Structure 1
């Protein structure tokens, strides 16, 4: 174990056990420390009142404390909150809280559950007061290296990876900022950055967030979205037994169009990506979420929908269509509603569960594809062809 080289917030219980045992601490203190951090969300050692003073001093000396600070909160008219977070080195990232403002079973909740790959039925306790379910969209990198033409996060390129403590820390902070009656339901790795490009930190954060001694999120409530890093998809499936929900940013059904929109396709073309999806050890009754951003004049023709229906045949998937959210760095835009409806109809008639993602938080640039590195200077990307 390398617990001494890990940030305290990134340590798992067994790593706390090893590091504290080496100091002669009692065995149960490891669980106490992990509980304080990941169950109670307390990162100030001075507030960990059931720990010995000497241990609290040691934790402070090790650097245990807040890993990110909320600098600005943008509240959308639809209840979405976008948080601008400042990291210890001065860099900034964004995370988004998406409440289902109309309660369980509402269209807003269906939208949030679809975004999260949530196929489960309502499991609120019988007779309990209805809770507002919240989906949190978190970031894994400062910037992004993928360069997708419809996404603002990669405008300035990749600045650095986030540590596992910074990824999980977004959820600790987001949970602390929930409002009365809200419940953190889903966590989606769909913010700034490509999660599988930062695989080690992403995987560790998944273990932290789903650990039964911590927040204890169900793996069915956690979705990792990827632009298609084939080796890492296989690694995620092997490391977590397929239990982590997988979302694929597809955005085209032929290599030429996808490579124009998503440079990663030149390295991992569609045949390799589809082979990785077929090999993913998906549990029974679970589906892969296919994300498809509709870009006017680029990938919104019904013929492309027919190609996608053929491409995905035999895979357990559901499809989220996302009319492109405008970004400053691109002249591209969404198709009209009739075009969206026609695209959806082709896929529905082909037998797929196909949803159109409702735009949430776009008035504060918190919608899909709009999260951006603070201070990044946009270089306008123009339509292809």
Structure 2
């Protein structure tokens, strides 16, 4: 595309009103901006010559200088359960990962009425779907009656991560750089292009590489792009942003989107001493400040905050820890996702035994919480929670602390 005005965002990061300014500058009319946005975001068409409802002169002006790709999808890996990890190379050669998780749905576990505790619910979907829809059937149908498998996509917001959580591979080499909003959105468009014929993109979770709220400006703009009615039009209630607990940014996210974007908190411990060992960010934003921030988050009616709790054997998996967690969360509108730690190369830490996980879950169920155990998806291709890492990255420090 032709050289944009100096203040214009990158092409894939522009909202319709910003495209309107660009096309007027190029000799088009204001309404053509919405058409360009629709071609890019809704149809995944990047070649101006194919934007057939635009005037020829405008298409020619847009095409001058060519279209620089935001990212390149490298050969990916596909797990036996159809989970796919896509490795994408950015313009500067950096790589990040995004994951497609098909066929996920959230069964609710409320109170004591659990008939089969050995079946693990899928916490990825439980985090991504609105509470009103937790019990929907797995498939969706189009007007022709064809059934589709719903897919949740996990996307990255940074190259690496600065948070240094001991159970997560993304941060072992530290933070390299933030992603731009166009690089975040491009992951979704690339993922959509990789879907099988019987799949449909349903949910987006900001749970890949990086801390989304540490890259706040790009995360927020990407949310506005993904939810815009003239583009992909993804419902805000189908998007969840996960954070390690950056309290000021949690408040900003709630204010910027009136609480409509789903919120997930990487908690992983119920006391400051344990959490600070597992998650250094707790030293800056301890539990009291975090819980206060969650109480102030403007949740819409019938929505809940997702609490993510990675179970690390011998560190935070005792029944007493579950009791402390139940006490800490008392009065908050939450659902709890228990995540047995997935193995990572940089750590000797690991998950508890299955019986230990169920015992932890039972304590929370008896306290009246909705509790999900994350089914392991894609761990045979290192696409599971906590396993996304920089290509070829080496840990800066050994991460199995205390």
Q: TM-score, normalised by structure 1?
A: 0.94
Q: Distance in 2 between matches of 1:211 and 1:172?
A: 14
Shift of 1:28: 1.9
Q: Which residue of 1 is the match for residue 365 of structure 2?
A: 348
2:266 to 249, 272, 277: 249
Q: Which residue of 2 is the match for residue 265 of structure 1?
A: 282
Cα deviation 1:106-128 (Å, max 9, x = unaligned): 98985442142442322845983
Q: Give the direction of change, closer, same or farther, for the CA distance of 1:234–1:62 in structure 2 (3 Å limit).
A: farther
The correspondence of residues 14-25 of structure 1 with structure 2, limited to 5 A, is 14-25=17-28
State whether residues 300 and 343 of structure 1, in contact with CA within 8 Å, keep that contact through their aligned partners in structure 2: yes
Q: Distance in 1 between matches of 2:176 and 2:378?
A: 25
State whether residues 115 and 357 of structure 1, in contact with CA within 8 Å, keep that contact through their aligned partners in structure 2: no
State whether residues 121 and 373 of structure 2, in contact with CA within 8 Å, keep that contact through their aligned partners in structure 1: no
The correspondence of residues 75-90 of structure 1 with structure 2, limited to 5 A, is 75-90=78-93
Alignment length, in residue pairs?
A: 383
Cα deviation 1:126-184 (Å, max 9, x = unaligned): 98332100000000001000000000001111111000000011101111111111110
Shift of 1:379: 4.8
Q: Distance in 2 between matches of 1:83 and 1:380?
A: 27
State the SS of the aligned residue for 1:82: strand
State the SS of the aligned residue for 1:276: helix
Unpaired runs of 5+ residues, structure 2, are 109-118
Shift of 1:23: 3.4
Report the more deviating stretch, 174-183 or 227-236. 174-183
State whether residues 220 and 244 of structure 1, in contact with CA within 8 Å, keep that contact through their aligned partners in structure 2: yes
1:192 aligns with 2:213: no
State whether residues 210 and 217 of structure 1, in contact with CA within 8 Å, keep that contact through their aligned partners in structure 2: yes
Shift of 1:72: 1.8
1:116 to 128, 136, 144: 128
State whether residues 4 and 19 of structure 1, in contact with CA within 8 Å, keep that contact through their aligned partners in structure 2: no
The correspondence of residues 42-53 of structure 1 with structure 2, limited to 5 A, is 42-53=45-56
Report which structure shows greater RCO (CA 8 Å, sep ≥6): 2
State the SS of the aligned residue for 2:360: helix
Shift of 1:53: 3.6
Q: TM-score, normalised by structure 2?
A: 0.90
State the SS of the aligned residue for 2:210: coil
Q: Distance in 1 between matches of 2:317 and 2:398?
A: 18
Q: Which residue of 2 is the match for residue 146 of structure 1?
A: 163
Q: Distance in 2 between matches of 1:183 and 1:382?
A: 37
2:232 to 193, 210, 215: 215
State whether residues 225 and 249 of structure 1, in contact with CA within 8 Å, keep that contact through their aligned partners in structure 2: yes
